[in-house]
Chains A and B, each alone.
Chain A
Amino acid sequence: MLQDKIRSLGAYALLVGEVFKDITTRGVNRGELCRQVIKIGRDSLPVVLLTATFTGMVLALQTAYGLQRFGAKNYVGNIVGLSLVRELGPVLTALMLCGRVGAGISAEIGSMVVTEQVDAIRALGANPISKLVTPRIAAAMLAVPALVVFCTLIGIFGGQLVAVYELNQSAFTYQRALYYTIMVRDLIDALIKSAVFGFLVVSIACYHGLVTKGGTAGVGRSTTAAVVSGSIAVFISDFFVTKVLILLS
């Protein structure tokens, strides 16, 4: 059991190595890259925006509830803004990405494996890594930071709705708090984190797709595995990436 886990971690590392080799030697196919960026954006933007709105709203509600014990209700904007930019924006987006895009990618590649289309790619003189994996990973690293920007903005807006209509703050108070709290540094950290999450979620999904075995049932198993291990990777890497980014600042 543990041995299997270590072996698949090793196989995953090999895949990542091949992707780097592929990017450095052959580059990325522009057309496919564009198609994948659009696909990732289109698939995940609606769910990301929906979850972000409600997360921003509940966050404002909860912080106001907590802060009023100290008579510090006016700091809602600071806390909501900072949590969304530094933490929740990237993490929420990555989790939604996992469920939508990660699952889709492992199902797509997995069914190509069980129908021998991946073998066919090789038999016909092409490389499945550069055809299937590299463009998807590169696309995720571009698309996810953009999605995170949308996610964070709309989350902050959700928070403002609650601040104004529930907590009877002025929009100005809320926005001023944001303005004085969030620094360029926070935005840069958020974008770096997002790119890392995009890389992890999609490379893990590609890995699970490529190792699919056992027909259509196998495709289902790969999809589940991609979502589960992708989300775990997001949570674990979140801590370490944050730690490193804070050390660097």
Chain B
Amino acid sequence: MTAEKPIIEFEGVGIRFGSLQVHHDLNFRIFPGENVTLLGPSGVGKTLILKMIAGLLRPTSGRVLVRGEDLSNLEEEELCAVRAHIGMVFQGAALFDSLTVYENIAYPLRERGLKSEDQIRQIVAERLEVIGLPGIEKKLPSELSGGQKKRVGLARALASSPEIMLFDEPTTGLDPTAIRLIDELIVKLQNQYSITSVAVTHDIQSAGRISQRWLLIHAGTVVADGPAKQIAAQNQDVIDFISGNWRGEITLT
């Protein structure tokens, strides 16, 4: 690994809801510019990991550090400042139903209050260009297809030029063409904006296209962490399990 400081760091992180201990010991470091995918079957808590990175949820044990800051020590206002460096693309896009595409993408810019209306208009147009949907500013989310919503969600997350992008199942539920489009878009962003990305998916093909490093999540901890090819070779049954091709007993290395 590089000598750089990690941009995201999990130290013995656990999270529980009442008696449900979802994670008990998560440990990993992600360095600037890395593109990582979290793999694991539905319900293991992949979304929870992304939300802890974004400071939307606090771990019940351990520490989460983002850009060197321990999030557990921060107040909501300070977390808000950290979130300025993070863009999150939610699983269902989570666009605001009552706002137009323009207002959705302008939202983080307005909230952070640093830009004039002219600058905002420019940024929105530029982000829509990036996602390949120029000129749809006036549409409402209900007028968009599933894939288009995801792309607008991506444009919104990108609006405030974050260093870290979090993608929660960016391609789940889309048709193959839309999947390819989004994967290519993610790769384009990684190259163009040199962002660090953490994605969650159970589509192995997608994971291979958008990331070089994979983390396998199972039973509340990271069971494998390394270059995508190596993980794929060593954990074939796990990969099969995640991608739905699994037929036999699961063994974890």
Query: SS class of chain A's interface: helix, strand, loop or mixed?
Result: loop
- Among B20-28, B63-71, B105-113, the one that faces the other chain is B105-113
Interface residues on A, range: 10 to 19
Residues of B within 8 A of A123 (CB): 54, 56, 83, 86, 88, 90, 157
Interfacial residues of chain A within 98-128, with CB under 8 A of chain B in the complex: 115-117, 119-120, 122-127
Residues of A within 8 A of B51 (CB): 119
Asked if A116 and B94 make an inter-chain contact with CB atoms under 8 angstroms apart, the answer reads: yes
Distance (whole angstroms) from the CB of B120 to the closest CB of chain A: 14
Interfacial residues of chain A within 68-100, with CB under 8 A of chain B in the complex: none
Known: A125-B80, A125-B83, A127-B76. A119 touches B111 (CB 8 A): no
Known: A123-B86, A124-B156. A115 touches B108 (CB 8 A): no
Complex Cα–Cα for A144 and B160 (A): 40
Complex Cα–Cα for A123 and B84 (A): 8
Residues of B within 8 A of A125 (CB): 80, 83-84, 108, 111-112, 160
Mask for B74-95, Cβ within 8 A of A = 1, else 0?
A: 0010001001101010111011
Known: A116-B91, A116-B92, A116-B94. A126 touches B83 (CB 8 A): no
Asked if A120 and B84 make an inter-chain contact with CB atoms under 8 angstroms apart, the answer reads: no
Distance (whole angstroms) from the CB of A90 to the closest CB of chain B: 31
Partner of B97, one of A116, A117, A119, A126: A117
Complex Cα–Cα for A120 and B156 (A): 10
Residues of A within 8 A of B31 (CB): none
B241 in contact (CB, < 8 A): no
Asked if A120 and B96 make an inter-chain contact with CB atoms under 8 angstroms apart, the answer reads: yes
Known: A125-B84, A127-B76. A120 touches B111 (CB 8 A): no
Distance (whole angstroms) from the CB of A178 to the closest CB of chain B: 44
Asked if B108 and A124 make an inter-chain contact with CB atoms under 8 angstroms apart, the answer reads: yes
Distance (whole angstroms) from the CB of A26 to the closest CB of chain B: 11
Complex Cα–Cα for A124 and B108 (A): 5
Complex Cα–Cα for A218 and B45 (A): 20
Distance (whole angstroms) from the CB of A160 to the closest CB of chain B: 43
Distance (whole angstroms) from the CB of B146 to the closest CB of chain A: 13
Distance (whole angstroms) from the CB of B165 to the closest CB of chain A: 12
Complex Cα–Cα for A119 and B94 (A): 8
Residues of B within 8 A of A116 (CB): 90-92, 94
Distance (whole angstroms) from the CB of A151 to the closest CB of chain B: 29
- Please indicate which of the listed interface residues A117, A122, A124, A125 has the most CB atoms of chain B within 10 Å of its own CB: A124
Known: A125-B112, A126-B111. A119 touches B156 (CB 8 A): no
Distance (whole angstroms) from the CB of B109 to the closest CB of chain A: 9
Distance (whole angstroms) from the CB of B96 to the closest CB of chain A: 6
Asked if B80 and A117 make an inter-chain contact with CB atoms under 8 angstroms apart, the answer reads: no
Asked if B90 and A124 make an inter-chain contact with CB atoms under 8 angstroms apart, the answer reads: no
Residues of A within 8 A of B160 (CB): 125
Distance (whole angstroms) from the CB of A122 to the closest CB of chain B: 6
Task: Name which residue of chain A comes closest to B51, CB basis.
Answer: A119
Distance (whole angstroms) from the CB of A130 to the closest CB of chain B: 11
Complex Cα–Cα for A120 and B54 (A): 10
Distance (whole angstroms) from the CB of B134 to the closest CB of chain A: 22
Task: Name which residue of chain B comes closest to A125, CB basis.
Answer: B111
Known: A117-B97, A127-B76. A122 touches B83 (CB 8 A): yes
Query: Interface residues, chain B, CB within 8 Å of chain A?
Result: 51, 54, 56, 76, 80, 83-84, 86, 88, 90-92, 94-97, 107-108, 111-112, 156-157, 160
Given contacts A117-B97, A119-B88, 18 further A-B contacts (CB under 8 A): A115-B92, A116-B91, A116-B92, A117-B95, A119-B51, A119-B56, A120-B94, A120-B95, A122-B80, A123-B54, A123-B86, A123-B157, A124-B83, A124-B108, A124-B156, A125-B80, A125-B84, A125-B111
Q: List 26 A-B contacts (CB under 8 A).
A: A115-B92, A116-B90, A116-B91, A117-B94, A119-B51, A120-B94, A120-B95, A120-B96, A122-B80, A122-B83, A123-B54, A123-B83, A123-B88, A123-B90, A123-B157, A124-B83, A124-B107, A124-B108, A124-B156, A125-B80, A125-B83, A125-B108, A125-B160, A126-B111, A127-B76, A127-B80
Query: Interface residues, chain A, CB within 8 Å of chain B?
Result: 115-117, 119-120, 122-127
Closest 10 pairs (CB-CB, A-B)? A116-B94, A125-B111, A124-B108, A120-B94, A126-B111, A116-B90, A123-B88, A117-B94, A125-B112, A124-B107
